[in-house]
Amino acid sequence: MEPILNIQQISKNYGRIVAVQDLSVNVGAGHVFGILGPNGSGKTTTLSIITGVISPDNGTYQWYGKSASSSIRKKIGSLIEVPNFYPYLDLFRNLTVVARIKGKPVGDIERVLKLTNLWERRKSRFDTLSLGMKQRLALSAVLLGDPEVLVLDEPANGLDPEGIAEVREIIKGEAEKQKTIILASHILDEVEKVCTHVAVLKKGRSIAQGRVHELLAADDPVVVECNETEKLKSSLIRAGISASIEKDGNQLVIILKSGYEARDVNEFAHQQGIVLTHLETRKKSLESQFLELVKQ
Amino acid sequence: MPMKSIILNEYTKIWSYRAFRVIILLHFILFFLVVLVTSRLDITIPGFSTDYLYQFPNIWEFFPWVASWFNLLLAILIIVMTGNEYTFRTFRQHVIDGLSRSDLLTGKGFLIITIAVYSMLMVLLFSLLFGFIFTRDLTAALFLKKTYILLVYFVQAVAYMSTGFLLAILFRNTALAIVLFILYRLIIEPVFRLFFPQGARLYFPMKVISNLTPMPEFLSISSGNQADAGNADALNLREMGLLAEDLPVYLNLVLAIGYTSLFIFLAWLLLRRRNM
């Protein structure tokens, strides 16, 4: 299937500073694609390139298999860095300007302002809004005209916990409508909760890419508890199911070889006549894995 | 991008902008006050009456010349509106939302033309008002003679604003562009011109543009400089812009349009090449 966005080997330098280096990414239809990385890892530069505001030094990218153009950008809702609006115009007029540019009906403004709880404030000047409200207005502008593709750069920036939860609900809602979403974030929790795919950036390079659950669950340990830990340990090693086993009190922390999962351990123990009193797959937190990845 | 949306957006941006309304109002009122006060002046030089300037067809020369003093305000207006797009980062947002860089240029080009049309209509309005009051024995031929200067004034206003627009795009900063515009117009180019022979000085952009609406001949005659126009004093007066100089109007017009196109082209190159 034709990818929605195809980035090939893009690079961008700012003087001697490498912002993005040989980055290649494929985003398929309906993916919620997270771009994860610490500050300064090239997330915003990448998104600025694919939304046409800066041009890459090297490499190309295509939306819907075509090279970039302003008419394709009209179909994409993008929020890059900070919200940019006219401070002296009210919210409704600001969104009118956006609607005209995108060629979307002005009638849709009411829907998106209600979605972000700003409808009551539609007659307020933009510069009277709080930071969180500005961010929500930017999200309204992104959703205007119900675009198929959303590009969001740190959408939860500047929001209080309630606002973050609201934004997350909105993004999830859009994802459920089979929208393609590209989401840059340094917050792992955000990526883990909403994304299907992820690319981890470090100093402008992609150091890992894949489905969120595969990439981040590959080495999840299985923890078992039983009375005969030593016996289970040695037979697991002999059977070649485990990659490594550590004994921790009366628990075994088992890293499985690929192709095996927790139920295989249970079945194996049963065959050996060992009764497990506890069996769990311990999800390593994304946080610790992210730090592991970035540290390398 | 349909042209209509670009135009409507420019209207939305200026309509609610207080600085824009204030500057336009200032422009209108200042012009009116100057022509009103001057018409009431009682100058007692034999053979000179300000009334003469307010009669058709001389008013077509006099009013655009007065209006040209205030072109600075119009240029500042364009610099402010363009500088805002950088300050608010809305040019950048427009590109993200799907405008092409030439659409950005179209919007501001449209704004320049709109303001020039407004200013031309203002001159027309007051010319008609004062002209009909002051002219006795009006004939159609007398009325129509020299009306073309109104269009020349239009070109001048567009040219000044295009200069301002280029500076705003170049510096991406309102204050810097305004200061540079004023310095270039009043000091940098005039001083630079001095290094060139008399004939070449007439071809510099600000000179070309300001010479589009020269001081009415009648006024310069009355200032007493006509008699020995060749001597050193008169040359200095010319250099100071007090005396009309002599490129034919059509050539001046062609040069001014050429400079305007060049400035707009350079602005377009900058817009296209740079990151937003």
ipTM of predicted assembly, 2 dp: 0.87
Specify the pLDDT at position B136: 85
Nearest chain A residue to B89, by CA: A84
End of a domain among A163, A192, A216?
A216
Rounded to an integer, the average pLDDT of A182-204 is 88
Is residue B44 within 8 angstroms of chain A, CB to CB? no
Across the interface, whether the CB atoms of B97 and A74 are under 8 A apart is answered: yes
List the 57-86 stretch of B: residues with Cβ below 8 A of A: 84
CB pairs under 8 A between A and B: 78
Range of the domain at A61: 5-216
Task: Please give the full DSSP string across B92-116, using - where no structure is assigned.
Answer: HHHHHHT--HHHHHHHHHHHHHHHH
Q: Å from B130 to nearest chain A CA?
A: 38
A20 and A161, same domain (yes or no): yes
Interface mutation target, options A12, A50, A53, A79, chain B, most CBs of B under 10 Å? A53
Residue with tokens 């860089």: B101
A202 and A225, same domain (yes or no): no
A141 and A160, same domain (yes or no): yes
Across the interface, whether the CB atoms of A54 and B275 are under 8 A apart is answered: yes
Residue A214 burial (10 A CB sphere; 0-12, 13-18, 19+) = exposed
A142 and A158, same domain (yes or no): yes
Is residue B110 within 8 angstroms of chain A, CB to CB? no
Is residue B2 within 8 angstroms of chain A, CB to CB? yes
Specify the pLDDT at position A291: 73
Write the CATH number for A72: 3.40.50.300
pLDDT at A177 over 80: yes
Is residue B273 within 8 angstroms of chain A, CB to CB? no
Mean pLDDT lowest for which of A114-123, A279-288, B77-86, B92-101?
A279-288
A34 and A103, same domain (yes or no): yes
Q: Å from B174 to nearest chain A CA?
A: 15
Residue with tokens 């007029």: A93
Report chain A residues whose CB lies below 8 A from the CB of B16: 88-90, 93
Across the interface, whether the CB atoms of A101 and B89 are under 8 A apart is answered: no
A93 and A239, same domain (yes or no): no
Number of domains composing chain A: 2
Specify the pLDDT at position B162: 98
A164 and A289, same domain (yes or no): no
Specify the pLDDT at position A217: 56
Residues of chain B with pLDDT under 50: 224-232, 234, 244
Closest partner residue to A100 (CB to CB) among B9, B93, B96 is: B9
Q: Å from A253 to nearest chain B CA?
A: 49
A42 and A73, same domain (yes or no): yes
Amino acid (one-letter) located at A167: V
Q: Could you tell me which residue, A289 or B169, shows the higher pLDDT?
A: B169
Closest partner residue to B12 (CB to CB) among A70, A78, A93 is: A93
Report chain B residues whose CB lies below 8 A from the CB of A90: 16
End of a domain among A195, A216, A237?
A216
Specify the pLDDT at position A163: 86
Report chain B residues whose CB lies below 8 A from the CB of A51: 95-96
Number of domains composing chain B: 1
Rounded to an integer, the average pLDDT of A29-43 is 91
Q: Rounded to whole angstroms, how far apart are CA atoms A44 and A81?
A: 7
Task: Express each pLDDT in A218-245 by its tens digit.
Answer: 567 788 888 888 888 888 888 888 877 8
Is residue B260 within 8 angstroms of chain A, CB to CB? no
Establish whether the linkage from the previous residue to B57 is cis, with ω within 30° of 0.
yes
Closest partner residue to A88 (CB to CB) among B1, B8, B17 is: B17
Across the interface, whether the CB atoms of A97 and B98 are under 8 A apart is answered: no
Q: Which residues contact A15 (CB under 8 A, 6 or more apart)?
A: none
pLDDT at A179 over 70: yes
Q: Could you tell me which residue, B123 or A258, shows the higher pLDDT?
A: B123
Across the interface, whether the CB atoms of B97 and A102 are under 8 A apart is answered: yes
Specify the pLDDT at position B244: 47
A183 and A290, same domain (yes or no): no
pLDDT at A267 over 70: yes
Rounded to an integer, the average pLDDT of A200-212 is 88
Q: Could you tell me which residue, A264 or B92, shows the higher pLDDT?
A: B92
Q: Å from B22 to nearest chain A CA?
A: 15
3-state helix, strand, coil in chain A (%, to 5): 40, 30, 30
End of a domain among A187, A216, A245?
A216
Across the interface, whether the CB atoms of A73 and B96 are under 8 A apart is answered: yes
Q: Å from B3 to nearest chain A CA?
A: 10
Across the interface, whether the CB atoms of A82 and B8 are under 8 A apart is answered: no
Cβ density class B141-180: b for 16+ within 10 Å, e for less: eebeebeebbebbbbbbbbbbbbbbbbbbebbbbeebbeb
Closest partner residue to A89 (CB to CB) among B8, B16, B97 is: B16
Q: Rounded to whole angstroms, how far apart are CA atoms A135 and A274?
A: 56
Is residue B102 within 8 angstroms of chain A, CB to CB? no
A77 and A147, same domain (yes or no): yes
Is residue B42 within 8 angstroms of chain A, CB to CB? no
Interface mutation target, options A45, A70, A96, chain B, most CBs of B under 10 Å? A70
Report chain A residues whose CB lies below 8 A from the CB of B103: 70
3-state helix, strand, coil in chain B (%, to 5): 75, 0, 25
A229 and A97, same domain (yes or no): no
Interface mutation target, options B97, B103, B272, B274, chain A, most CBs of A under 10 Å? B97
Across the interface, whether the CB atoms of A101 and B98 are under 8 A apart is answered: yes
pLDDT at A210 over 90: no
DSSP-assigned letter for residue A53: S
Report chain B residues whose CB lies below 8 A from the CB of A85: 88, 90, 93
Across the interface, whether the CB atoms of B92 and A87 are under 8 A apart is answered: no
Specify the pLDDT at position B1: 56
Q: Which two tokens stand for residue A149?
A: 């593709």
Nearest chain B residue to A71, by CA: B98
A191 and A231, same domain (yes or no): no
Write the CATH number for A248: 3.30.70.980
Chain centroid to CA A150: 12
